[in-house]
Amino acid sequence: MVVAQVWTLQRHFVGFPKLSDFELKDEQLPEPKHGEVLLAAVFLSVDPYMRPYSSMRMKEGDVLIGAQVAKVIQSCNPSFPVGSHVVAPCGWRSHYMCDGTGLTPLPLDWPQDVPLSLALGTIGMPGLTALYGLEDVCEIKKGETLLVNGAAGAVGSVVGPIAKLKGCTVVGCAGTDAKVAYLKDLGFDHAFNYKTVSSLEQTLRKSAPDGYDCYFDNVGGEFSSVVMPLMKQFGRIAVCGCISTYNDMAPQKGPYMQSHIISKQLRMEGFLAGRWEHKNQEALKRLMAWVKEGKLSRTEHVTEGFSNMPAAFIGMLSGDNTGKAVVKV
């Protein structure tokens, strides 16, 4: 019998999450029955969506939602042999028993020198988000100019290099000077610290004097209000996330952007990466190939220990991470 540890939402977050909002509990798991597998977490993901989804989809006492890379440690299901690895959307759990539904096996030819944790980042959901946002929402073309905010994070750090591979000029911003240096290493044409520039508008104008064809928005809120007038005619905006608003206790107010959307004939589209799930296998192969060729970064922010899940989550929301934030068990 295995005793799993699970992190639950003790009380709904009010504003910025606190360590006391989480509770660690034990859960006894029986022996697997026919068709079942027992998983042990190896790497767990902490993602921004967990903050808004906690109020939309969870009640107090629920196990926190999320994905992990797990190892199959017992199996009564031939599709998931002992020792193989899967991506499991089973939440903040050290161990999990299931019948295989929802598990995605990692390819058997996953290279030894590529960390398995990248299946939660660049070669996983955030990488797919970057790729689909650029190709299917922005429909980005060679020679265009792209702006991405949250550029040093899990999604942003894939957006920039893919846009460079496609022959674009790429402008990005992040919240520390060390992250800005990282963006320059990734090949961004212009990068700046949005927290220290004296004028966001002037910095954006200077970085792209003719304006932006595409805007990959991870941040939303006031930042986007500044960008709208700087878009080119027929510009495209991929609304990926709005992390600047996730901890707000009351909705932010304008300035409102409709007049710019009309006069510049912009297309602004929200998206969830799951819309293109049918393309994941092919897209993950492309992401893996780019990683192996050194065209995408392997940088991650790894927190050690399952007991530190809440701290890792709060740290990610605070901007501690460069690249994908993951927890190593």
Ligand X SMILES: NC(=O)c1ccc[n+]([C@@H]2O[C@H](COP(=O)([O-])OP(=O)(O)OC[C@H]3O[C@@H](n4cnc5c(N)ncnc54)[C@H](OP(=O)(O)O)[C@@H]3O)[C@@H](O)[C@H]2O)c1
* 31 vs 248, beta carbon nearer ligand X: 248
Comparison of 4 and 291: residue with beta carbon closer to ligand X: 291
273 binds ligand X (CB under 6 A): yes
- Among 8, 75, 129, 280, contact with ligand X (rule: CB under 6 A): 129
- Which span sits near ligand X by CB under 6 A: 33-41, 101-109, 182-190, 319-327? 319-327
SS3 244: helix
Residue 311 makes CB contacts below 8 A (sequence gap 6+) with: 19, 303
The DSSP letter of residue 189 is S
Q: Name which of residues 182 to 241 contact ligand X (CB under 6 A).
A: 218-219, 240-241
Distances (CA, A) of 143 to 80, 81, 148, 234: 45, 47, 16, 15
Beta bridge partners of 216: 148, 238
Q: Which of 31, 272, 281, 285 binds ligand X (CB under 6 A)?
A: 272
- By CB atoms closer than 10 A (0-12, 13-18, 19+), residue 127 is buried
17 interacts with ligand X by CB under 6 A: no
Indicate the residue among 80 and 92 with the shorter CB distance to ligand X: 92
Helix (H, G, I), strand (E, B) or coil at 181: helix
Give the interface size with ligand X as a residue count (CB under 6 A). Answer: 31
Q: Does 155 bind ligand X (CB under 6 A)?
A: yes
Question: Does 176 interact with ligand X (rule: CB under 6 A)?
Answer: yes
Our separate counts of H helices and E strands in the chain read 9, 15
Query: 311 phi and psi, to 5 degrees?
Result: -65, -40
CB of 47 to ligand X, least distance (A): 5
Nearest to 224 by CA among 249, 194, 247: 194
Question: Interaction with ligand X in 19-58: which residues (CB under 6 A)?
Answer: 47-49
Stretch that binds ligand X, among 168-176, 198-206, 260-268, 305-313 (CB under 6 A): 168-176
**Of 74 and 218, which has the nearer Cβ to ligand X?**
218
Q: Which residue has the tokens 């990282």?
A: 182
Nearer to ligand X, 183 or 266 (CB): 183
From CA 197, how far away is CA 220, in angstroms rounded? 18
Q: How far is the CB of 154 from ligand X (least distance, A)?
A: 3
Structure tokens at 211: 């304006």
- To the nearest 10°, report the CA torsion of 155, 145, 171, 122: 20
316 binds ligand X per the rule CB under 6 A: yes
- Decide if residue 319 touches ligand X (CB under 6 A): yes
Residue 7: strand pairing partners: 24
Q: Is the dihedral of CA 217, 47, 157, 290 positive or negative?
A: negative
What span, in angstroms and rounded, lies between the C-alpha atoms of 140 and 285?
Answer: 20
Q: How far is the CB of 156 from ligand X (least distance, A)?
A: 6
Residues 78-97 that bind ligand X (CB under 6 A): none
230 CB contacts (<8 Å, ≥6 apart)?
A: 201, 204, 205, 208, 211, 212
> Minimum distance between the CB of residue 29 and ligand X, rounded to whole angstroms?
30
Among 17, 100, 153, 310, binds ligand X (CB under 6 A): 153
Residue nearer to ligand X on the CB measure, 7 or 132: 132
Query: Of the candidates 6, 134, 174, 309, which one interacts with ligand X according to CB under 6 A?
Result: 174
Chain residues binding ligand X by CB under 6 A are 47-49, 126, 129, 150, 152-156, 174-176, 179, 218-219, 240-244, 271-273, 316-317, 319, 321, 324-325
